[in-house]
Structure formats: C-alpha cells, structure tokens
Amino acid sequence: MEIHIGTSWDFFKLKSANPKTIFSYLVEGLYKLAEDVENKKVNPDTKIRGFIYYLNESSVKKFGFKTRKPNFFEWILFSLNYLELCILQSISYKRISLVKLDNIQIITIYGKELLKYKTVFKDAHDNFQRRYAIKPIITTSPAPNKKQLREVA
C-alpha cells in the first residue's frame, strides 16, 4: 500500500496548505489507517510504503517507520515529479523552495506495526489541532435522516 500526502489538486483546494496542516493531516491519516488495521479492514501483514522528502529522520523513527535511500529506479521516478514537488512545497512554504535531495527517503512499515504507534499518531494530531486549530480532514458525520433529506429536496 502506498501512502501519499495528497495530490496537486489537494494543495490548491486547501485554504492553508502549510507544513503544519499537512503534517496534521498525515498523522490523522496514519491514525485512521491504524484503526482500519485494528478493525480488520486492512490486513495486518500489508506493507505500507511511502516516498518522503518533507519529514526529518527523527519524526520518521518516532512513528515507527524504517527508512532507506531510494534505489536507482526510484530516483528516476522521483526526478519525473521533482518540478511538481518543488511547486507544491513552494505553495506550502509560501516562498520559492526546492526539495532537498538529501531528505529523500523511502519509508516502510507493516500494518500490525502501525497499531503500536496508534496513540503516538493520535497524540500528535490532537496536539496540532490544539496548537494550530487545524480542522480534521476525515470526518465521520451521521447519515441524514428522511426529514433532512426532504428539506434539502
């Protein structure tokens, strides 16, 4: 399973696509993924992989990911997206910014390992919400009742 921080469209759609918001959404997504493993929606033996350039090594290790440098083929794939990533990072930082090549890493973790870090993801997300008033991107709202549906129609 591949994890991503979003598409180009997501960056343009967000009112505030800054590093803090993106990080908050990342840990929220990891928490929800851990819940899905716990609820058997995702197989615990699923290998989860990501290509990152925006997290430092200490954050990656704190969340239980194993890291490695990309192989030759992965560097080629990365180079095809480099310009787009620089544009997205520039939007995020609100200034011209180049992706640092020494930050490029491949991260991996198995679903069952995510469960060990579920509280870490939740705590990090809650901390960012308190500090920066970031609204959750994944919401669970109850389905509308028949009266509400008639009022909309």
Q: Is 16 helix (H, G, I), strand (E, B) or coil?
A: coil
Q: pTM to 2 decimals?
A: 0.74
Q: Is the pLDDT of residue 149 over 80?
A: no
Average pLDDT over residues 32-60: 88
Contacts of 119 (CB under 8 A, 6+ apart): none
Spatial distance between the Cα atoms of 108 and 98, rounded to a whole number of angstroms: 24
3-state helix, strand and coil shares in percent for the chain, rounded to the nearest 5: 55, 10, 35
Residues recorded for the chain:
153
- What pLDDT is stored for residue 43 in this prediction? 94
- What pLDDT is stored for residue 84 in this prediction? 86
Task: Render pLDDT for 53-101 as a digit per residue (tens, 0 to 9).
Answer: 777 778 788 889 999 999 999 999 888 988 988 888 887 778 898 888 8
